[in-house]
Amino acid sequence: MRVLVVGSGGREHALAWKIAQSPRAERVLAAPGSDGMADVAECHREVAAADAEAVLTLARTARVDLVVIGPEDPLAVGMADRLREADIAVFGPSAAAARLESSKSFAREFMARHGIPQPRFAVFDELEKARAHVEAVAGPCVVKADGLAAGKGVAVCDDGAHAGRALDEIMAARRFGSAGDTVLIEERLAGEEASYYAITDGERIVTLAAAQDHKRALDGDRGENTGGMGAYSPVPLVSPAIEARIREQVVVPAIRGMAKEGTPFVGVLYCGLMIDAHGAPRVVEFNVRFGDPETQPLVVRMRGDLLPVLDGAARGALDPSAELGWEDAAVCVVLASGGYPRDYAVGLPIRGLDAAARASDVVLFHAGTRRGADGRFVTAGGRVLGVTARGGSVAEARARAYAAADRIAFDGMHLRRDIAARAT
């Protein structure tokens, strides 16, 4: 099979790396891909991940059998619809189904319609009314921009003053542009976070495993929300009994609900969950694509062949008995640019990549790098690398990931030191 991966980040590197290992993969292409993933995919740098027409043209000229869309933005604007209209098999939801991620208010109202457990919430499109609401709540709450904001449009607030500042930033200063024209104010849930993944063709389901990412920039879950500073899988907290509850109360009603509403969901449903002290899951968010960086530990743990599962889902013929099989554990530590998630410098030389890549059971996924004029890698994004290791336990994988990360350096490099610490 010829497979085209759309995107250029660490998640897409991880997907291309995994797909390239499939005996069924004859050729793996990426649009645009990156210098760092050129060893696993033929990268078409001229094709932007957001450009549906260019992706379609490439899929046709290269006679691609399957397109796997990595990021949420092209899904939100209908890239999957466009490819499907042209009879190209595509792993990823329609724009209508992608609203589970692209509109947080749509997702909350959908969950309410289908009895999926979630926090209390209210939706506002006027700053004054939103302000009055947080003043009335007068305690902890969560303020969210309705639309896509690269994982950064969420403020977890301790009190009304904090929430007021978040509202100003989102609605008055419009830090996230039109994504913040509507806001949600949610009950602030307590518990442990985990995410859970289910691949579906709209009807049949193959569940993957639980993972946990670390969204805050600094150790101890301090600092701002980011796209994710690291991730690990499995999550010991998610016992088989809790996993069964997640399937029954979240995954199945969501996938059935989307089909019933006439917008069947095809692709991977990412369930961001808060698990309370009694093991009850509630949905923090749905995403409509693989997690970044959660995909990095998931594919490094995954023994089986992912490609037939992606392809089956894309063709409406998913084999629900597919067993992917999992290694014990994997941990991904993100090396970020100093200043991320706000401003940061790029073009800084990265040292130690070869030494880190030689470590056994370690895979380096490139998130934001490019080759400089001398052919060596330099930084090119906020999240630069995802140093991912497998091990016989989360503790072993974690030790390997940090040992490899410590061989890498660039000016201003920032990493969290407590990735997966909770699970060891």
Contacts with ligand AMP by CB under 6 A lie at 119, 142, 144, 151, 154, 156, 186-189, 193, 215, 225, 272, 284-285
Contacts 24+ apart (CB under 8 A), 283-286: 283/111, 283/116, 283/117, 283/118, 283/250, 284/119, 284/189, 284/193, 285/101, 285/104, 285/107, 286/100, 286/101, 286/107, 286/254
213 binds ligand GLY (CB under 6 A): yes
Q: Considering the complex, what minimum distance in angstroms separates the CB of residue 213 from ligand GLY?
A: 4
Pick from 9, 32, 291, 382: which binds ligand GLY (CB under 6 A)? 291
Q: Considering the complex, what minimum distance in angstroms separates the CB of residue 147 from ligand GLY?
A: 14
Where does residue 223 fall: left (phi above 0), alpha (psi -120 to 50 degrees), or beta otherwise?
A: left
Q: Considering the complex, what minimum distance in angstroms separates the CB of residue 151 from ligand GLY?
A: 5
Q: Considering the complex, what minimum distance in angstroms separates the CB of residue 285 from ligand GLY?
A: 8
Pick from 292, 300, 340, 362: which binds ligand GLY (CB under 6 A)? 292
Find which of ligand AMP, ligand GLY, none residue 22 binds, CB within 5 to 8 Å per kind: none
Taking residue 203's Cβ as centre, other Cβ atoms within 10 Å add up to 14
Q: Considering the complex, what minimum distance in angstroms separates the CB of residue 253 from ligand GLY?
A: 21
Contact partners, residue 318, CB within 8 Å, separation at least 6: 199, 200, 201, 203, 204, 205, 206, 309, 312
Pick from 228, 264, 382, 386: which binds ligand GLY (CB under 6 A)? 228
What's the rounded Cα separation, in Å, for the pair 6 and 1?
Answer: 16
Cβ nearer to ligand AMP, comparing 283 with 389: 283
Helix axes 104-113, 95-102, angle to 10 degrees: 100
- Which two structure tokens, joined as six digits, stand for 135? 């003043």
List, as one string, the DSSP characters of 295-350.
Answer: HHHHHHHB-S-SHHHHHHHHTT---TT----B-SEEEEEEEE-TTTTS------B-
Q: Considering the complex, what minimum distance in angstroms separates the CB of residue 249 from ligand AMP?
A: 17
Find which of ligand AMP, ligand GLY, none residue 188 binds, CB within 5 to 8 Å per kind: ligand AMP
Cβ nearer to ligand GLY, comparing 65 with 72: 72
Pick from 151, 264, 267, 391: which binds ligand GLY (CB under 6 A)? 151
287 binds ligand GLY (CB under 6 A): yes
Cβ nearer to ligand GLY, comparing 193 with 328: 193
Q: Which residues bind ligand GLY (CB under 6 A)?
A: 151, 213, 227-228, 287, 291-292, 294
